[in-house]
Amino acid sequence: MAHEHDLRYRKLFSNPRIMEELLVSFVDEPWVKDIDFSKAERMDRSFVTEGFRERESDLIWKLRFQGEEVYLYLLMALRVLRYLSEFYQFLVDSHAGSCLTLR
């Protein structure tokens, strides 16, 4: 079972209107206007590996973009931030005693 917060985000972004608002509001790219949100279809599939099911949640949407099928994969953003911070901590730990500059 995914983390409680991930389950809430999953439920929220399972709504096609909310998913559309997410893209339109946060992705400041001209191609977003070319997505046909009226045909959005949430895929009943997850690609989170068994070892991470306790903590992870993802959503996949099939969308139409300029007449073609495209897929939007949403992995809960806080998890990505956590992964990045763990990666940076690994870098710091692996370079202990040496000079490491993160830019």
Taking only the tens place, the pLDDT of each residue in 7-55 is 777 788 889 999 999 899 988 899 999 999 999 999 887 766 666 565 5
CA distance 21 to 25: 6
Assigned token pair, 25: 């509001």
Q: What is the pTM of this model?
A: 0.62
- Count of residues making up the chain: 103
The residue extents of the domains of the chain are 4-76
35 DSSP 8-state letter:
E
Q: What is the per-residue pLDDT across 72-83, written as a single tens digit (0 to 9) for each? A: 888 765 666 677
